[in-house]
Structure 1
Amino acid sequence: MDLSDYKDLTFDNIGDWPVPVKLVTVLAFCAAIIGAGYYYLMMDEYDALAKVEKTEKDLRAELERKQAKAVNLAAYKEQLKEMQESFGVMLRQLPDKNDIAGLLVDVSQTGLAAGLEFELFQPMPEIKRDFYAEKPIKIRVKGDYHEFGEFVSGLAALPLIVTVHDVKISRKKDGGQLVMEATAKTYRYLEEAG
């Protein structure tokens, strides 16, 4: 059989085809069916496998993060305990509403003890912030540098927190004493209910 015999092959006369041609055709047809079945059935499985592998990778990363936290859990708990104790100490250094009047007296007595002469001592309205309130006090005092330093040191030594802001020191117009203008602030913790 030569190639000219294959020209006359049509699907109308499949039964008359030579056996090797029939065999090749059946194998090609089977390969096509297997290939199409593999493509349509297995491609979904490959997509599912890719999704599961990505999920596994994400879960491994999450596990490693959580494991790193778990390893340090004792240290975190210790740090939290220290922070709570520190917060408690600082909270006790903040005045409550009842302490403000006494604190104002302490600030003025600290200035007088340093040898300063008050020209202005004006408590301002309280300013509410996120979880605390500021109580500013405008101050203008006369004295010298050493007395100013002693006053500020005395404020820092008070049992309640007092900070000094906007400090301006100038000499009186007559060339005499120095004048310090400042704003002293104390802070009050706002209760969560209020």
Structure 2
Amino acid sequence: MSLLPPDPVRRGAIVCAFLAVSGLYFAHTYLFAPVAERAESRRLRIERLEESNQDAGRAAALGDRQLEERLGLYRERIASLEALIPADEEVAALLDAISDEERRAGVEMTMMRPDPMEPGDYYDRLSYQVSVRGDYHSVGSFLTAIASLERIVAPGDLVITPLTPPTGDDESEVGSILASFRIRTYVATPPAPAAPPDSSARNGDAQS
């Protein structure tokens, strides 16, 4: 039994309708659907990229803040350290402060000889050979006072030589000693002088 009507006009209309529906199906299945799927996949990828960019931006902003905080702490520490380093013109006042501590501790300074300056990239190191005489407790107080000065002064290389033994039967009494040591401090390295202008370049400009 034929599924199509015998009328040629109706049969042609049904065939055309079938072909149209089939064309729409195939167009949707093999053309539109893959394109739509690719478009949706692309949209999702763009959304993920945008989210990743936003996350990266937030992380970068947080990292910038943390970096700024760390730099701020670093600058504060550097400033605190530089406040402890005497300026070049303050070295004389620092030596006067050491002399004041000598008198306050009741010791006698028998030598204070400067060593050659040791230049550095940022700070030059100054050192002095020092010898003081006094009883053990007075010398200890003097060394403690030097190490406690506001500016950085570090005593080291200490050598103690007994001078006189204790007198009497009092075991708490101590004799006189000679303490030889080196004190070190630092001063900021002066900036390098500016290079003079290139005379050959200047002469060349004048000739041109």
Q: What's the TM-score, normalizing by structure 1?
A: 0.58
| Partners of 1:125 and 1:152 in 2: CA distance | 22
Distance 1:70 1:148, change over 3 A: farther
| Partners of 1:186 and 1:179 in 2: CA distance | 22
| Partners of 1:73 and 1:119 in 2: CA distance | 57
- Where do 5+ consecutive residues of structure 1 fail to align? 1-63
Question: What corresponds to 1:81 in structure 2?
Answer: 72
Question: What corresponds to 1:123 in structure 2?
Answer: 114
Question: What corresponds to 1:53 in structure 2?
Answer: none
Count how many residue pairs are aligned between Structure 1 and Structure 2.
129
Aligned counterpart in structure 1 of residue 105 of structure 2, from 103, 108, 114: 114
Secondary structure of 2:111's counterpart equals: strand
Displacement of 1:112 after TM fit?
2.0
RMSD: 2.4
Q: Is the 8 A contact 2:136 2:176 kept in 1?
A: no
Distance 1:170 1:113, change over 3 A: same
Task: Show CA shifts across 1:109-151 (max 9, x none).
Answer: 2122111111111122321122111111111111223212211
- Where do 5+ consecutive residues of structure 2 fail to align? 1-55, 166-174, 194-208
| Partners of 2:61 and 2:191 in 1: CA distance | 31
Question: What corresponds to 1:154 in structure 2?
Answer: 145
Q: Is the 8 A contact 2:88 2:188 kept in 1?
A: no
| Partners of 1:192 and 1:121 in 2: CA distance | 29
Question: What amino acid sits opposite 2:159 in the alignment?
Answer: K
Question: What corresponds to 1:183 in structure 2?
Answer: 182
Q: How does 1:1-194 map to 2 (within 5 A)?
A: 71-172=62-163, 174-175=164-165, 176-193=175-192
| Partners of 2:119 and 2:183 in 1: CA distance | 16
Q: Is the 8 A contact 2:147 2:155 kept in 1?
A: no
Secondary structure of 1:73's counterpart equals: helix
Question: What amino acid sits opposite 2:75 in the alignment?
Answer: Q
Distance 1:77 1:116, change over 3 A: same
Secondary structure of 1:119's counterpart equals: strand
Q: Percent identity?
A: 27
Q: What's the TM-score, normalizing by structure 2?
A: 0.55
Q: Is the 8 A contact 2:84 2:151 kept in 1?
A: yes
Displacement of 1:78 after TM fit?
1.0
| Partners of 1:113 and 1:193 in 2: CA distance | 40
| Partners of 1:177 and 1:113 in 2: CA distance | 17
